[in-house]
Structure 1
Amino acid sequence: MNALIPRPRSHPAPGAVHVPGWLSLDEQRELVTACRAWARGPVPMRHTRLPRGGVMSVQTMCLGWHWRPYAYSRIAHDVNGARVAEFPDVLSELGRRALADAYEDEAAGAAYAPDTVLINHYGEGATMGMHQDKDEKSSAPVVSLSIGDTCVFRFGNTETRGKPYTDVELASGDLFVFGGPSRFAYHGVPKVRPGTGDPATGLAAGRLNLTLRVTGLTG
């Protein structure tokens, strides 16, 4: 078997950093196990219904704050009326370490205080259209972690869903952070490559994506 060629970190745009292989295999397995437990509720993973009646092809769940288009709340009124589970300390610690490593800035990492995570599962044929993460009241960076199948992550500009954009291959264990001038850039996932993940992560198929955010909300 050929040795894997190391993938260097890259900066697709100002404030955006891709760090390949950031999560160890053990960390990926631990997150997969945790996500399975979190997906059982109190607010389970679901296909989110959009305001115009469409249904997202990815399955989504949240901790800390519940997201629905286009707002956050503590109660999942659009799912089962339950209060969303608390945001776990383990993800706070992971987010701080991720930001410090991506920006190579220990102070920035120490100051990072995510209070919600959106967990998306991409099954067969699932994609994500170009969108902005702008439902938060904070402009703190978004920390994104990938596990499972490799995807094409399209990272664009702050003005339009179209070009210019950069397509980045996000593989299992990769970290992607976007903040500063790129915090409100349009981004999406036009394709997931089936069968490219490592079953040793505990995820036999599909892609798991965790995005940590600071909502800027209280209550």
Structure 2
Amino acid sequence: MHLSVLGFDIYKGYLDLAAQQRVLDDVRDIVRSAPLVQPITPRGNKMSVRMTAAGAYGWVTDRQGYRHARTHPGGQDWPAIPESVLRVWKDLSGSARDPECCLVNFYGEGARMGLHQDKDEGSLEWPVLSISLGDDGLFRMGHSERGSKTQSVWLQSGDVVVMGGAARLAYHGVDRIRFGSSTLLENGGRLNLTLRVVT
């Protein structure tokens, strides 16, 4: 089912259970090569999500600021973006370019992501695509102006969101998860994979 909310294209149940499991297996390979880290914001606050990435670039944050980086904080190169993930991008993004970054966010119990814009890329003409796996997450969407009216939708495992056009610079975030609402991740939690063109 396809929904359009404030310019966000939401594909409910796009990945069936078998496809979700394939992507999850590939994410586990990513995490083995580039372990999850708990990022620190430029102000010194620990984020509630843990992160890693795949592709030519990862997104990192520390006292030096928010940026895309060629290497994991541990110094190793990021692993390649898996074909199971690239297939979703090719099917839904409408982009002529392949993604250069697949950011992996893990939400444990109580984790959230405040409203923010994705604007650290070299060009904003390319969409951002997001894949949800595991527990339900309450996804909040706004407009390009901070403080604008927002709408929320629960994202379930297998849902895909594409942010392009008017939604490309819209504020968005995850207010909370329903911990334990999915059995995909054995110990609960939510994985969010965010694909983007960086350069």
Deviations 1:129-179 (A, max 9, x none): 11111111122111111111111100111110x231110110111111110
Counterpart of 1:176 in structure 2 is 161
Contact 2:26 2:82 in 1 (8 A): no
**Distance between the aligned counterparts of 1:80 and 1:66, measured in 2?**
12
Contact 1:95 1:112 in 2 (8 A): no
Verify: 1:208 aligned to 2:197, yes or no: no
**Distance between the aligned counterparts of 1:21 and 1:89, measured in 2?**
19
Contact 2:137 2:178 in 1 (8 A): yes
- Tell me how many residue pairs correspond in the alignment: 193
SS in 2 for 1:40: helix
The change in CA–CA distance for 1:52 and 1:202 in structure 2 (over 3 A counts) is closer
**Distance between the aligned counterparts of 1:86 and 1:151, measured in 2?**
26
**Residue 203 (structure 1) shift:** 4.2
Contact 2:130 2:192 in 1 (8 A): yes
Give the structure-1-normalised TM-score.
0.83
Structure exhibiting the larger radius of gyration computed from Cα positions: 1
| Match of residue 134, structure 1, among 114, 119, 125 | 119
**Distance between the aligned counterparts of 2:179 and 2:84, measured in 1?**
29
Verify: 1:30 aligned to 2:22, yes or no: yes
| Match of residue 154, structure 1, among 140, 143, 156 | 140
Give the structure-2-normalised TM-score.
0.91
**Distance between the aligned counterparts of 2:165 and 2:74, measured in 1?**
36
Verify: 1:88 aligned to 2:71, yes or no: no
Output the amino acid matched with 2:58.
H
**Distance between the aligned counterparts of 2:50 and 2:101, measured in 1?**
17
Q: Gaps (5+ residues) in structure 2?
A: none
Divergent runs of 4+, >6 A: none
Contact 1:150 1:170 in 2 (8 A): yes
**Distance between the aligned counterparts of 1:208 and 1:75, measured in 2?**
21
Verify: 1:51 aligned to 2:42, yes or no: yes
Q: After the TM superposition, which of the residue ranges 167-176 and 86-95 deviates more from structure 2?
A: 86-95
**Distance between the aligned counterparts of 1:89 and 1:32, measured in 2?**
12
Deviations 1:45-104 (A, max 9, x none): 11111111111111110111121131112123xx212222233344322211122xxxxx
Deviations 1:180-210 (A, max 9, x none): 111011111111012211x2x3544111111
Contact 1:151 1:191 in 2 (8 A): yes
Higher strand share: 2
Output the amino acid matched with 1:142.
V
The change in CA–CA distance for 1:112 and 1:96 in structure 2 (over 3 A counts) is farther
**Distance between the aligned counterparts of 2:176 and 2:83, measured in 1?**
32
Q: Gaps (5+ residues) in structure 1?
A: 1-7, 100-107
